[in-house]
Amino acid sequence: MSVLAVSTDPVEGGDFITRWKWKTNPNSRPVQGSLRVSVNEVHASDRAALAEIHALHYLLEVREIHGENRLGTDMRVCLSSSAVRKALLKGSLKVHGTGKAESAAVGAAATFLATKYFEATYEVQRWKDEEPKAVEPEMLLSLGPRFPRVELQCGLLNRPVQITRHAMHRWVGRISEGLDRYSENDLSKIPDARWTKAWRTLAGVLNHKGLLRADLLPEVARKYQQRYGMSCVYLHFSDAMAVFVLVDGPQGLDLVTVTKTNPHTPILSQQRFMVGQQIKTSRGTIDTP
């Protein structure tokens, strides 16, 4: 198992230094470095935790320290912030779709770790100095008012889409695992590796030619709009009997939930599907939000 360890401390001027080290296996000599992170003043609390999350975002998403498109497979992440660890508690994520972060900001910032990198193991561990095999130069990072988004591209809309924790929870339970309405909330018995598989499958579906726009019956659309706002966008992928609910907000598109069609309660006004090179339509049905 590879190991990514980070330790974050405040420095003069209000910034934070995150030391990091990467080991391809627990017994190897690490590659290490440091990141100086400035945190926008709009973030008045939990600044050290937010700096640590921002450093992890750089290491995993930009530096790709673990390798390209590897996600969280066979990786242990050692943190210095217990606040970050609470946001990533697997038991809570699997049952409630959220961690136990005491701060909404920390929970929001850690969304990419709780979705794309769900399979990784997260723990708090004291920093231990080791003789490195290589040292990378210090990098300067800046966390602005908004947290970085980790997105999947949607070919149909030709736009990137951020996957929320709730949507990922629904995608795993309802679509990937095919659970019914009575068991779809509690995913505690599902192995962590299924999240990685589900993420890759979702990435493929969002770029599949069979993904089409959906129109909901007016009374059903109103229910979604009451919950998520008037900017809802609906997509249908008939192969998986999945309907995606997206919200077009100030930061872009968010996938907020995923529902599954069923033969009992029609709510799609027109269910569009491909037959050869033609798009056919029929009355569709869907599960509850």
For residue 64, CA distances in Å to 5, 68, 192 come to 14, 6, 21
Q: What is the pLDDT of residue 276?
A: 60
pLDDT > 60? residue 280: no
Average the pLDDT over 205-225 and give the result. 93
Q: What is the pLDDT of residues 96-154, one digit of tens each?
A: 988 899 899 999 999 999 999 999 999 999 999 999 999 999 999 999 999 998 899 99
Work out the angle at residue 148's Cα, subtended by the Cα atoms of residues 143 and 150, and round it to the nearest 5 degrees.
155
Give the strand pairing for 215-216 and 151-154: unpaired
Separation between Cα atoms, residue 59 and residue 4, nearest integer Å: 9
**DSSP class per residue in the chain:** -EEEEEEEEE-TTS-EEEEEEEESSTTSPPEEEEEEEEE-TT--S-HHHHHHHHHHHIIIIIS-TT-TT-TTTTEEEEES-HHHHHHT-HHHHHHHSS---SSHHHHHHTHHHHHTTTTSEEEE--------SEEPPPEEEEE-SSPPP-EEEETTTTEEEEEPHHHHHHIIIIIIS---TTTSS--TTS-THHHHHHHHHHHHHTT-TTEEE-EE-HHHHHHHHHHH-TTEEEEEEGGGTEEEEEEEETTEEEEEEEEE--SS---EEEEEEEETTEEEEEEE-----
> Domain 2-143, what architecture?
2-Layer Sandwich (3.30)
Q: What is the pLDDT of residues 103-112, one digit of tens each?
A: 999 999 999 9
Average the pLDDT over 81-97 and give the result. 95
Q: What is the pLDDT of residues 39-61, one digit of tens each?
A: 999 999 999 999 999 999 999 99
CATH of region 151-284: 3.10.450
Domain borders along the chain are: 2-143, 151-284
pLDDT > 90? residue 82: yes
Percent of the chain residues topping a pLDDT of 70: 93
Per-residue confidence band for 80, with pLDDT thresholds at 50, 70 and 90: very high
Q: What is the pLDDT of residues 237-277, one digit of tens each?
A: 989 999 999 999 888 999 999 998 877 777 788 655 455 66
pLDDT > 60? residue 279: no
Average pLDDT, the chain: 91
Q: What is the pLDDT of residue 284?
A: 43
Q: What is the pLDDT of residue 275?
A: 54
Give Cα 31 distance to the centre of its chain: 27
Q: What is the pLDDT of residue 69?
A: 82
**Which residues are CB-contacts of 204 (< 8 A; sequence separation ≥ 6)?**
none
